[in-house]
A and B are shown apart, each in its own frame.
Chain A
Amino acid sequence: MKSLLRMEQIDKRFPGVHALKAVSLEILAGEIHALIGENGAGKSTLIKILCGALAKDGGTIFWEDEAVQINSPSRAAELGIAVIYQELTLVPHLDVGQNIYLGREPAGKLPGTVAWTQLYREAGELLQRLQLDLPLRTPVEQLTVAQQQMVEVSRALSMDARLIVMDEPTSALTGRETELLLARMRVLREQGVSIIFISHRMEELFAIANRVTVLRDGVVIGTELPEALDEDQIVQMMVGRDVKLLPEVRDISSISDEVLLQVQGLSRQPHLHSVDLTLRRGEIVGFAGLVGAGRSNLAETLFGITPAEAGTLTLAGERVTINSPQEAIALGWGFVPEDRKRQGLFLQMAITPNIVISELPRYSRASILNFRQMQEVAQDFVERLRIRTPNLQQTVANLSGGNQQKVVIARWLTLEPRLLILDEPTRGIDVGAKAEIHELIQQLANQGVTILMISSELPEVLGISDRIVVMREGRITGKLSREEATEDAVMRLAAGVRTATKETTI
């Protein structure tokens, strides 16, 4: 078959991250090419470069063996590349027809005008051809997520593109809609259209892909025929990586059987479905899963940020309800959010106020703050957590990521929490500081604090958790002991390989 697209030695750096390292990818005319990898492997970055939404730092793109510059989305569209992004790119107030032809409205008789009648007629014909039942003149904000996804698909198919990139197009579709989409893709392939298909669902890859390319940490691990691989090998290619610096395994024989928190049937639509969970005192429970599996939603619901719609919480033998973070804090819980800069820190303020701000009444008399006492407390934590800073007056924005995270943790420690929820505690933190935070987490657990840690880094979850809980699509799909938890086992549960639940309707 003829080569349609060749990306050669593509390189891309972001501040602090080498996202793509000399990545090469070839797409043949009329093939469905699956692109897979863990979160953060570089798939989305590669796609954004291909469609002109991001500039590459190095490498060449060949379109039908000719070197091309793709420096804008419209240039990509000109070549015949259409993209269905993971995040929907619809305009909520505009209707289905307008969204399908967004930016490509058919020209009317007068220059610069839009031929609306023609637009709606063509949109109607297109939907009929695709056998899609969508209301043409309804604003897309009134559609379900699945319907919106189909609008997005229709848009790409309306472009008569030669290469369609689909970034997890089925993640929000029901079984019937997914089958319909896969059928559409096969028809397109027969017509000579090439498709790059990103999906976490193994069964889809095997059902439809001609070839599979695996990305890991910004490097192509290999391009293979799916017939030549089994699920095990794919998982191995996706996760296998060098052993990293991890703390020594903690002695867990001493963990008491004392139950701190019992969660039953915790639900909140559409992200959480009947979650059951038991957390013991002084235990580190790691939460693994793909992005969007509902782990952060669980954390936010437990902490009262998005209160639960159903389910019960039993804390140390007593039924509790939590409808706001204040209530969670009053019970002795702490929450270190995923996005520390946006949700966790007062970036423009100094270290001291950032550490003591949760407990100001403790440092004040008649509402007048005692600055000396605040400084002493802050100094104590700076030393205990080894926060590296010239002085306490330093603005938090100027600290490194690891030290910023320590400040957030220190703030919770001033409250002497019983339960600490950590969402991606080491994201974007360099290796050295990472190890220190791992150590700190273990120390806290040894002192009897229960730790609920969410992390998308498997080695981290496996390395420091006493138990591992895996989530997928808002449900818990597995609870593993340290011995049972291998990368393979966790990835299978996270991607739903063996469970093979046919469908979860949203």
Chain B
Amino acid sequence: MKLKELFSIKKLGKQLSRASVIVILAMLVFLLALFSDRFLTVDNLLNVAAQTTFVAIVAAGITLAMISGGIDLSVGSVAALAGALAAGLMSRQGLSVLPAVLVALVCGALMGFLNGLLIVPGRMPPFVATLATMAIGRGLTLVYTQGRPIAGLPQSFTFWGTGEFLGLPALIWVMLAIFILGYLFLRYTRFGVNVYAIGGNPEAARLVGIPVKQRIFGVYILSATLAALSGVLLTARLWSAQPQAAAGIELDGIAASVLGGVSLFGGVGNLGGTLAGALIIGILSNGLNLLRIPSYPQLMIKGGVFILAVVLDMFSRPRRETG
């Protein structure tokens, strides 16, 4: 029924950007199925979906920031910091899983609060503010881990990264839950609706009495908390916290958002598109591995896909008249 809605003539115009991402996704799957007999197996597909979780959750936060007219570059560092903190609390301090994870998420939220402080009262452009906290977050992670991995994690924790639930990897359940909640949040809450208004016309949002400053704080706190969740899950997946975990994930997250139709200028986008965008990124990495393309040139191909995503974004929008 989702697909039918997608291709109904009436909504075609509105859905064009999302349709294009679905087309790219389908083409990618088709090509990979053609060139690799291992791609279209249940095991591999579940693996890809599980791997995509990290980028997808981070991309959900970036999408929120982008719809509000900003950007969040600090997500990779926040993910690494939260992952390391959770691991450290469990293996060094012997905390149990739930409090350790909660502290890690709160730590992520605080990083988001810091972003909010720099952007709202500090009046810094989000790009600059989150670039600074990106460095700070990575530095904190390196100091906390002393540059070494933190291992020795309980199985009740690593289950979330490697275990299965009702026949699907636990990661996929988490990802689905986040995206369904996020989709409803953006569509059916005041907060979500306000974020679109702020990104679409900040002055109008202010003049109709939307609490713009409060909402911007909320956006960056949510984005960082999602990044922290992603980092915690990554630690569970790897059975250890790596000091360089999630480095560069902001690039994948932005690419996923833009591929999914989120506007670089704010006010436009939805999580359905972002999820599809994240799957493209995930499938692309998986496919390149299956095709035995070494990891160094893979990065160049990803960069190329990112450019393609931005170009598509610019062409799919009517140009605005200036003057």
Contact = CB atoms under 8 A, between A and B. Distances in A.
Interface stretch (B118-126, B127-135, B192-200): B192-200
Given A73-B208, A74-B209, A103-B205, A92 B188 contact: no
Interface residues of B, number: 22
B88 interface: no
B190 A91 contact: no
Contacts of B312: none
Nearest to A305: B323
A336 interface: no
A72 B193 contact: no
Contacts of B205: 91, 102-103
B193 A92 contact: no
Given A113-B188, A114-B193, A90 B209 contact: no
Secondary structure of the A contact surface, majority rule: loop
Contacts of B142: none
Interface string B222-236: 000000000000000
Given A89-B201, A89-B204, A114-B189, A103 B267 contact: no
A300 B323 contact: yes
Contact of B193 (A98, A155, A300, A305): A98
A360 interface: no
B208 A89 contact: yes
A92 B207 contact: no
A112 B191 contact: yes
Given A92-B267, A300-B323, A102 B190 contact: no
B164 interface: no
B213 to A, nearest CB: 11
B203 interface: yes
A94 B190 contact: no
Interface string B202-226: 0111111111000000000000000
Contacts of B207: 51, 53, 73, 83, 85, 89
Contacts of A112: 189-191
Interface size, A (range): 20 to 34
B189 A103 contact: no
B196 A91 contact: yes
Contact of A91 (B191, B204, B209, B323): B204
Nearest to B212: A103
A116 B268 CA distance: 18
A32 interface: no
Given A93-B268, A306-B323, A102 B188 contact: no
Nearest to B266: A93
A105 B193 CA distance: 9
Contacts of B193: 98, 105, 114
Contacts of A105: 190, 193
A16 to B, nearest CB: 23
B323 A90 contact: no
Interface in A89-115: 89-94, 98, 102-105, 107-108, 112-114
Contacts of A90: 201, 204
Contacts, number: 74
A357 B200 CA distance: 38
Given A73-B206, A102-B204, A103-B208, A91 B188 contact: no
Nearest to B191: A112
B209 A73 contact: yes
A74 B213 CA distance: 14
Given A74-B209, A103-B194, A94 B200 contact: yes
Contacts of B204: 88-91, 102
A236 to B, nearest CB: 35
Nearest to A88: B204
A114 B188 CA distance: 5
Nearest to A296: B323
A91 B197 contact: yes
Contacts of B194: 103
Contact of A103 (B188, B197, B203): B197
A497 to B, nearest CB: 29
B209 A77 contact: yes
Given A90-B204, A91-B267, A93-B196, A103 B191 contact: no
Interface string B69-105: 0000000000000000000000000000000000000
A241 B249 CA distance: 64
Contacts of A102: 197, 204-205, 208, 210
B210 A103 contact: yes
A159 to B, nearest CB: 10
Contact of A113 (B189, B208, B268): B189
Interface in A39-89: 51, 53, 72-74, 77, 83, 85, 88-89
B69 to A, nearest CB: 11
A108 B188 contact: yes
A103 B195 CA distance: 10
Contacts of A51: 207
Most chain B CB atoms below 10 A, which of A90, A98, A114, A306? A114
A116 B194 CA distance: 14
Contacts of B200: 91-94
A73 B210 CA distance: 9
A299 to B, nearest CB: 12
Contacts of A300: 323
B271 to A, nearest CB: 16
Most chain B CB atoms below 10 A, which of A83, A92, A107? A92
Given A89-B204, A103-B197, A114-B190, 4 more contacts: A91-B197, A93-B267, A112-B190, A114-B189
| In the A-B complex, the 9 residue pairs with the closest CB atoms | A74-B209, A91-B200, A89-B204, A103-B208, A103-B210, A91-B201, A73-B209, A93-B267, A102-B208
8 contacts: A53-B206, A88-B204, A89-B204, A90-B201, A92-B201, A92-B267, A113-B189, A306-B323
Interface of A: 51, 53, 72-74, 77, 83, 85, 88-94, 98, 102-105, 107-108, 112-114, 116, 155, 297, 300, 305-306
